[in-house]
A and B are shown apart, each in its own frame.
Chain A
Amino acid sequence: MAPALIFVGVFVLVPLGQLIAMSMTDRSLLGGGRFVGFGNYIKIWNDAGFWRALLFTVKYTIVLTPILMILGFGLALLTVDNTPLKRLTRTVAFLPVVIGLSSSSLLWFWLFDEQVGLLNKLLTDLRVIAQPMVWFVSADLAFWAVVISITWKVVGFGMVLFIAGIQSINPEIMEAAVVDGARYWARVFRIILPLSRRIILLTTLISAIGSMLAFDQFYIMTSGGPRGQTFTAVYWIYQNSFVSFKLGYGAALSIVLTLIILAFSTLQIALTARSEAK
């Protein structure tokens, strides 16, 4: 226990402290900067771009998380038996998880590309659309393009966590239900789901935190476009810190974002604890 706390203490809390200190200065990436107290935080309050980005990030999280959870759980139900076909399905569904995020995002960027992308060609050949379309010129289409690519990449992870949950349910409970004549879907909703509550909440938490911190996929696929409509919170921090060189301001933005995520996670954990006590 102690080594873990020391490790996190030294390597996380110390830089975090420095980040907080930096957030109270107007430090530039190129060095220098004076103490400005809470000046940066006041600027954040008035920074329309940040709030827009944050709202977009929240929208992204709210849309993506249920999709991942439902599909992940569905895949888990589908592949939980150990037949060869199901095992193969499990492996193929998990495969995207092992690819790096930037490679995977660029791969989908290529697929969606109007000129060189095979997805457009496929859709045209299947007569789903009349001709190749430009996905990234509309904020909505760009949003869905990213959601599709991330779902592909990450759903296998949820699937595997849920399979573990399902397989650990006491088989006696399941057999009793079968003997009682309970049909398949009844078993799923009355037994499996309630008993998986903790793993579902845990996975939802990790997934949501990850989505709130989304950056790479948007940086690579949409470049924040069109017209800055698909900037996420971390993308906004990146722009301010590393492109505009405002490291101090970027630090303040990061602290604000972390606090928001912390509040949200504490809430989730409290809810989990309470539901377990029931």
Chain B
Amino acid sequence: MTTRTLRAALAASLVASTAVAATARADTMTMWVRASGTNAASTLVNLWNATHSDKVELTTIPDNQMVTKLATGVQAGEVPDLVSFDLIYMPDFMKAGFLTDLTADLKANPNFASVAKAYVDIATYEGKLYGAGFTPDVSILVWNKDLFKKAGLDPDKPPRSVPEIHEDAKKIHALGADTYGFYFSGSCPGCNIFTTSPMMVASGSKMLPANGNDDALTGEGVKDVLEQFKEMWSEGLVPKSAQADNGSNFVALFKTGKIGVQGAGGFLISDLKRDVPNMNFGVTFLPGMKDGEVSSFVGGDVVAIPVGSKHVPLAKAFIAWELTDEAQLEGLAKNNILPSRPALADNKYFAADPRIVTTAKALGVGYVPWVYHFADMVNSDSSPWINMLQRAIFDGDVDGAIKEGREKMKAIAAE
């Protein structure tokens, strides 16, 4: 071979090997996220993409289509490598065999040990782990300090029991016909399981049945809380529009400064700071019937790997990465999103705003129900949960509502 040919061949093989190496390295993973979790997920995905050569491509799926899309996708073999979705669907997906077993990888990960217990529980099925907490959210109680002051209440002392919420609400409504003490979305099942059920759980009740033999709506908590809500409604402490609100105005009224107290999620904090920077508001745990009883609904998204993914090792690497200090702090905490490891709650980003620290701590006092057919039981527009609430609060028949709710929920759980 002549020198020239040799050099050409060398150059060519060099180019070729670089090209092969380059394509071998630059993989793209696809990830589906539900619409309301997009902003939070983007913080982590953008951080990963900025620091890794393999990229994650995020696809937003409207909330109420996520289950259908994933279910039909798995059956058709059209799945993303990662999926971030509402954690209450985990039991159904795990049972259906849609998700990849991550037990070995997660248990070997030192960071996993410090993840909030609720996220571990919801992702466990028959002793195996199928997902990790991703972009948490948790329910808390917010109160409008300006209104409290005007009503003669101590703006730094939030109500510590449901009856106290009732009392405070009365005083705030006395300020004017246009000002209301309390708010809840009367036709939004999801909003209420998020903010109202923790009040019942804090008062000692268990909410949903895991199977046909399990108990539902136990204890006095459900009844007592519903009685309080019923009274607040009949006393006009809640705006009339709340009855038909299907969630579209879940926090809209609080933002206008006309509501004294209401349940909401951690997401509201950054919303309020952005949209109404002049409002003075406080954040505390959702209380039960007695002072000292607290709870919360541990929600948000978990991340999992659907069966059929073509980049499983890489996807596992992503999940391992998102549990690291760097991801949790620089990705989530920096953007006012809660880390799924409560140990990281006291960090420099949250130090500036103690309200966020409170919210992060709520992860530790909260619950998450582990049931099948959550959508049917709770979130559906015709669910026993919302029917019970409406019958008890708006129709006034608390006992009948609870009885009917209990029966219907157990019937669904038995399927």
Residues in A lying within 8 Å of B, measured CB to CB: 28-32, 49, 109, 113-116, 132, 134-137, 223-228, 231, 239, 242-245
Chain A residues, Cβ within 8 Å of B252: 115-116
- Could you name 14 residue pairs across A and B whose Cβ atoms are closer than 8 Å? A28-B96, A30-B92, A30-B95, A113-B248, A113-B249, A114-B240, A132-B241, A135-B244, A137-B240, A225-B244, A239-B381, A242-B67, A243-B376, A245-B375
CA distance A30 to B89 in the complex (A): 12
CA distance A109 to B245 in the complex (A): 11
Chain B residues, Cβ within 8 Å of A29: 67-68, 71-72
Q: Does B109 contact A (CB under 8 A)?
A: no
Contact check: which of A31, A116, A226, A242 meets B75 at CB < 8 Å? A31
Q: Of all chain A residues, which has the CB nearest B395?
A: A227
Do the beta carbons of A223 and B187 come within 8 Å of each other?
A: yes
Contact check: which of B68, B248, B380 meets A109 at CB < 8 Å? B248
The answer to whether A223 and B381 touch (CB under 8 A), given A116-B249, A244-B373, is yes
Q: Does B350 contact A (CB under 8 A)?
A: no
CA distance A235 to B92 in the complex (A): 23
The answer to whether A225 and B253 touch (CB under 8 A), given A30-B71, A31-B96, A114-B240, is no
Proximity bits, B379-395, A CB within 8 Å = 1, else 0:
11110000100100000
Q: Of all chain B residues, which has the CB nearest A120?
A: B241
Q: Does B243 contact A (CB under 8 A)?
A: yes
Q: Smallest distance from the beta carbon of B34 to chain A beta carbons, Å?
A: 15
Q: Does B182 contact A (CB under 8 A)?
A: no
CA distance A168 to B62 in the complex (A): 46
Q: Does B36 contact A (CB under 8 A)?
A: no
Do the beta carbons of B187 and A114 come within 8 Å of each other?
A: no
Contact check: which of A28, A32, A227 meets B387 at CB < 8 Å? A227
Do the beta carbons of A136 and B373 come within 8 Å of each other?
A: no
CA distance A231 to B390 in the complex (A): 17
Chain B residues, Cβ within 8 Å of A228: 381-382, 387
Do the beta carbons of B382 and A115 come within 8 Å of each other?
A: no
Do the beta carbons of A115 and B249 come within 8 Å of each other?
A: yes
Q: Of all chain B residues, which has the CB nearest A29?
A: B71
Q: Smallest distance from the beta carbon of A86 to chain B beta carbons, Å?
A: 38
Contact check: which of A134, A239, A244 meets B241 at CB < 8 Å? A134
Q: Smallest distance from the beta carbon of B238 to chain A beta carbons, Å?
A: 12
Known A116-B249, A245-B71; further 19 A-B contacts with Cβ < 8 A: A31-B97, A115-B241, A115-B249, A116-B252, A137-B240, A223-B187, A223-B381, A225-B187, A226-B187, A231-B382, A239-B380, A239-B382, A243-B375, A243-B379, A244-B373, A244-B375, A245-B92, A245-B375, A245-B376
Q: Does B246 contact A (CB under 8 A)?
A: yes
Chain A residues, Cβ within 8 Å of B248: 109, 113
Chain A residues, Cβ within 8 Å of B119: none
Q: Smallest distance from the beta carbon of B227 to chain A beta carbons, Å?
A: 21
Proximity bits, B221-256, A CB within 8 Å = 1, else 0:
000000000000000000111011010110011000
Contact check: which of A114, A223, A242 meets B246 at CB < 8 Å? A223
In this complex, the member of B248, B249, B382 whose beta carbon has the largest number of chain A beta carbons within 10 angstroms is B382
Q: Smallest distance from the beta carbon of A26 to chain B beta carbons, Å?
A: 10
Q: Smallest distance from the beta carbon of A236 to chain B beta carbons, Å?
A: 9
Do the beta carbons of A134 and B244 come within 8 Å of each other?
A: yes
CA distance A76 to B166 in the complex (A): 58
Chain A residues, Cβ within 8 Å of B92: 30, 245
CA distance A113 to B381 in the complex (A): 19
Q: Of all chain B residues, which has the CB nearest A236?
A: B382
Do the beta carbons of A227 and B390 come within 8 Å of each other?
A: yes
CA distance A31 to B71 in the complex (A): 8
The 4 tightest CB contacts between A and B, nearest first, are: A30-B96, A114-B241, A136-B244, A137-B244
Q: Does B98 contact A (CB under 8 A)?
A: yes
Do the beta carbons of A114 and B244 come within 8 Å of each other?
A: yes
Q: Smallest distance from the beta carbon of A217 to chain B beta carbons, Å?
A: 14
CA distance A244 to B239 in the complex (A): 32
Q: Smallest distance from the beta carbon of B256 to chain A beta carbons, Å?
A: 8
Chain B residues, Cβ within 8 Å of A245: 71, 92, 373, 375-376
Chain A residues, Cβ within 8 Å of B390: 226-227
CA distance A29 to B240 in the complex (A): 38
CA distance A228 to B189 in the complex (A): 13
Chain A residues, Cβ within 8 Å of B380: 239, 243-244
Chain A residues, Cβ within 8 Å of B98: 30
Chain B residues, Cβ within 8 Å of A239: 380-382
CA distance A224 to B188 in the complex (A): 12
Contact check: which of B68, B93, B373 meets A242 at CB < 8 Å? B68
CA distance A115 to B74 in the complex (A): 41
Q: Of all chain A residues, which has the CB nearest B383?
A: A243
Chain B residues, Cβ within 8 Å of A113: 241, 248-249
Q: Of all chain B residues, which has the CB nearest A30?
A: B96
Chain A residues, Cβ within 8 Å of B241: 113-115, 132, 134
CA distance A30 to B93 in the complex (A): 8
CA distance A225 to B96 in the complex (A): 31
CA distance A224 to B381 in the complex (A): 7
Chain A residues, Cβ within 8 Å of B95: 30
CA distance A136 to B390 in the complex (A): 14
Q: Of all chain A residues, which has the CB nearest B256?
A: A115
Q: Smallest distance from the beta carbon of A138 to chain B beta carbons, Å?
A: 9
Q: Smallest distance from the beta carbon of A27 to chain B beta carbons, Å?
A: 10
CA distance A227 to B187 in the complex (A): 9
Chain B residues, Cβ within 8 Å of A28: 96
Chain B residues, Cβ within 8 Å of A116: 249, 252
